[in-house]
């Protein structure tokens, strides 16, 4: 008998089947499933319906993030990592939610141009604190500054996800989470960096 576990129940949910008893994941190389909530037609909200996408062609993770690779590996999803140089800036007037989604889409499409006939999964995360948006820190000093500004405050974390099918169709969504940081001392900030 098989058990099903959902990892990161959000716009892109990894569905992992495991054997009852030993709890080991079933190897999901070509028989794996990627489950995605796709935007409802005509809206930017997440549809409640789910679509199962067979991974009978390679999955390419368009991200150098060790954490994103770890999530797929833990789920037993065989994948390769490929990145492309992508403009990660957002146009003036674009909201953090829109920026997270549009950057994820640009990353996915940039990698898709080099991996025809594959599934491409990309993501981008933007932190929004009182109207100020934070992307990836440029360096350690930038990371310290960001953590100091987030210390003791609530903020929104927006993760844009984009999935390109082997036929070139792109689907995307954004998951937003409210996070509250407790006050961080300079020593704690240094430890995080």
Query: CA–CA separation, 50 vs 48, rounded Å?
Result: 6
Query: CA–CA separation, 48 vs 174, rounded Å?
Result: 14
87 catalytic residue (yes or no): no
Pairing status of strand 132-134 against strand 119-129: antiparallel
The single residue of 44, 87, 124, 128 carrying the catalytic annotation is: 124
Query: CA–CA separation, 174 vs 94, rounded Å?
Result: 14
Helix (H) or strand (E) holding 171: strand 170-180
Catalytic residue numbers? 124
């Amino acid at each position: 008998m098989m058990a099903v576990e959902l990892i990161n129940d959000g716009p892109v949910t990894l569905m992992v089947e495991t054997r009852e008893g030993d709890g080991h994941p079933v190897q999901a190389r070509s028989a794996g499933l990627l489950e995605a909530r796709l935007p409802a037609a005509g809206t930017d909200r997440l549809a409640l319906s789910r679509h199962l996408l067979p991974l009978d062609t390679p999955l390419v993770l368009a991200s150098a993030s060790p954490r994103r690779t770890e999530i797929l590996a833990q789920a037993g999803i065989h994948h390769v990592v490929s990145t492309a140089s992508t403009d990660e800036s957002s146009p003036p007037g674009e909201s953090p939610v829109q920026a997270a989604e549009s950057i994820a889409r640009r990353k996915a499409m940039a990698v898709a141009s080099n991996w025809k006939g594959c599934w491409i999964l990309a993501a981008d995360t933007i932190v929004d604190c009182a109207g100020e948006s934070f992307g990836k820190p440029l360096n350690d000093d930038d990371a310290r500054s960001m953590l100091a500004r987030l210390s003791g405050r609530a903020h929104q974390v927006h993760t844009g996800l984009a999935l390109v099918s082997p036929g070139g169709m792109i689907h995307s969504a954004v998951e937003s989470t409210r996070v509250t940081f407790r006050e961080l001392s300079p020593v704690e900030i240094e430890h995080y960096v």
